[in-house]
A and B are shown apart, each in its own frame.
Chain A
């Protein structure tokens, strides 16, 4: 069933908000983001999306909307990818490279009994665990062998430590800074390394570091 532009915007905002925050926006937040002053209009769109089967609501609870059908959002992602063959969706890539050495894998299975508590994050869609390879973040005291917890989001800010995929196929752990003319500077926290400067469109942000873990 086709969606109107407005309905698509609501669905898209819901999806993005949940991915970034791990929980659902309130009607108020939806209204603000779409610049709708009337909550009744938000209600109407939500009702329509529910009727068309794209979302499901849980009653007697605020902020509990579940997205059932992401197809319209996927279509847009695929279209974007077709338009720019160099960009890649986070869904394709088995996570990444930290530093400039061969790609690492997200922790799908934890063999060490010592890391038993990290199992809480394995399989989570909002936060995943990576192990650091290399010394590009050494000045920030993130060392080879440390683990980082990464929030699955594309919305990052200046100064955030991010996991980034750049167009030559590398994935890397760097600090993110926006520069003029749509450039982005990826700054290593290692005084002996050079920053990488790329066009924003050639960069895919996979996530933002929210915690660092070291085991002895």
Chain B
């Protein structure tokens, strides 16, 4: 394989430790090996799973699951509280092995790293063989197992290490990234989360090849600003340097006043402007929000955030504005001076879940108005059109 590779072709490894916390615990208690082990605490009321051994995973246990649920699924598992200091110590040990092989190491979490071996062909030879040696060295120096994905890009290498797990090395040959990704489920692409997968499934798109075949303009039309990244990912191209490289989870805007103020008119005007910007971005993403959050900071730098949920998800200025004014009324005494105001929307989805039949018509009218405003903004700039309230 080495002789087929151009010397300048990027070679990116994604190294991912296998069941890291559990593996470290096994170093201290070899009796744990081969058993169902769950790290995260005692299965009482609170607490979630930090890590589960592969034996425990067979029962459906996974990270972030409540410990109580884990106990139900796997009652015979050994529950451990976890020792962060030890995990950090071993993470450093593994990092040292990485850095001994190349200076270009990016630790992305306590147990994952990207390593750049571009141009090291003459020194180290074939990447697959290099990964084998690296894996062996990690095992020798730390006693821990790793899986490694190799390709031309970070994203494909990450997918590859995920498929190689546990205790595996998967090398995707240059030029074949799109074919490799084709049969995989869309959710396997990094940055493609539940909400996006849900909408793709609604459209009948389940694997990456289908995602490619619908084309960029369709994806941009359906997913807005994030659509272009989706299309690139489907082809195995990196998007980390893109502004919208993963599913949006929240959108917010804030304003700090030059002079702290308690003037209701001024506060309302500012909020209206923040809402307009936020809603505009929401529509650019083709998304709807179900939770609205107001952020208030007073002159003593005390900051509060208060949120409420909408009856149905919306992307309209009007709905967000109503909520924000409501939150202000309920959480501001009308007298204290305010230093900063912020508006945030979250609980994002790609479409309304229910329609309130009676308000359907006025919603459609409002949607058309917003669309027209967006078009004008598109041509003449954001501030060319503003709700009357913002003009003082």
Contact = CB atoms under 8 A, between A and B. Distances in A.
Interface string B179-217: 110111100100000000000000000000110111101
A64 B210 CA distance: 8
Nearest to A149: B180
Contact of B168 (A23, A63, A121, A213): A213
A47 to B, nearest CB: 19
Contacts of B171: 211-213
A118 B163 contact: yes
A141 B1 contact: yes
A216 B167 contact: yes
A35 B176 CA distance: 27
Contacts of B218: 60-62
Interface stretch (B59-67, B124-132, B248-256, B361-369): B124-132
Contact of B213 (A64, A121, A159, A161): A64
Contacts of B128: 141-142, 212, 214
B145 A212 contact: no
A210 interface: yes
B126 A23 contact: no
A215 B147 CA distance: 9
A22 interface: yes
Interface residues of A, number: 36
Contacts of B308: none
B235 to A, nearest CB: 10
B217 A210 contact: no
Interface of A: 21-24, 26, 60-64, 113-114, 117-118, 120-121, 124, 126-127, 140-142, 149, 151, 159-161, 208-216
The 3 A-B pairs of least Cβ separation, nearest first, read A210-B176, A22-B182, A124-B183
B2 A140 contact: yes
B179 A210 contact: yes
A63 B180 contact: no
Given A140-B2, A141-B132, A212-B171, A151 B179 contact: yes
Contacts of A121: 183
B255 to A, nearest CB: 40
Interface of B: 1-4, 54, 58, 126, 128-129, 132, 135, 145, 160, 162-173, 176, 178-180, 182-185, 188, 209-210, 212-215, 217-218
Contacts of B169: 213-214
Contacts of A23: 182, 209-210, 212-213
Given A23-B209, A141-B126, A211 B172 contact: yes
Given A61-B214, A120-B185, A212-B170, A140 B126 contact: yes
Contacts of A142: 1, 128
Given A210-B173, A210-B180, A62 B188 contact: no
Given A21-B178, A126-B183, A140-B126, A213 B132 contact: no
A140 B1 contact: yes
Given A63-B214, A126-B179, A211-B171, A216 B145 contact: yes
